Structure 1
Amino acid sequence: MNGSLQAAAVENLRNLRQLNMSGNRFNGDLPASLFALPQLKILDLSVNNFCGHIPVSSSPGPISPEVLDLSFNRLNGTLPVRAFKNIRSLNLGGNQFSGSLPVSLFALPHLKFLYLSYNNFEGHFPINLSSVPVPLEALHLEYNKLSGSLPTEQDGHPHYN
């Protein structure tokens, strides 16, 4: 499938729980109506040509999806971390996000899998993983522009490599 994904195509799918439209040739902006679907738990729009930002800034609370895969598109802008409160798995790899990683991203209560590889994030890693409990089980940050070192723990004390 190709072309833009129109808001009218999805806004009435109020009972939809899972949507996978990966590996197509959709382009243009992501429709905000997708992120407003109340029952949607899994959203996979990876490997398309969507551009622009993730349109959730108008949402007063968190978005419904728990699994969100928008990898390998042309998305940019800032990460709407406040809207990700329910997210368990977030894959935004292979996009054009930039800037520093927000500390609040690592404080999301349900986040287990975070993939941000192949973007343009820069700066130092925002938290000391040895002193802050983080629920993550998988963290992928390769191919960004991050700098500095990550702490490792030896003898119960953090050490930097």
Structure 2
Amino acid sequence: MFHFPRLDPAAPPWPSVIHEQGRATYHLAGGRDGGPDDDRKVGEHDAGPSVVAGTPVDLDPAVRERVVDYVRRWLPGLDPTPRGEASCLYTTTPSEDFVIDRVGPVVVCSPCSGHGAKFAPLVGEWVADLVDGRGGVPERFRLAPHAQARRGAVSL
């Protein structure tokens, strides 16, 4: 992900966007992870290699070039020179769905795929319902659909 300065920080705030033309590209307020609040964080979703925790990750110059080109084309209110950059690591499932379920007394909660924090209040409600025995989690987030997808996956 890359942080780009807004040309007019006094302009009204911009919305968060996921642009799914070609590669899925997102942008949102810079915030706490590397830039001032008036920066825009711009990145490609699921564009990097699979990594193991603790392994250093070098930013791919091709990704930097694509994101800078994206900013030039789609975000004319930004300076197209990144102010900062960082790798953004997250877990993901093949469906990009969360894993939230209860098995006996154990509640499993993995709101992964790069967007779990955005759903924290809802995930919290679902987990509380599972802990209290009320259920209420949509079937797509239960363990069974993920296990079925895993059995159907091809290993290379």
TM-score of the superposed pair, with normalisation by structure 2: 0.26
Higher helix share: 2
- 1 or 2, which has the higher strand percentage? 1
Structure having greater relative contact order (Cα 8 Å, sep ≥ 6)? 2
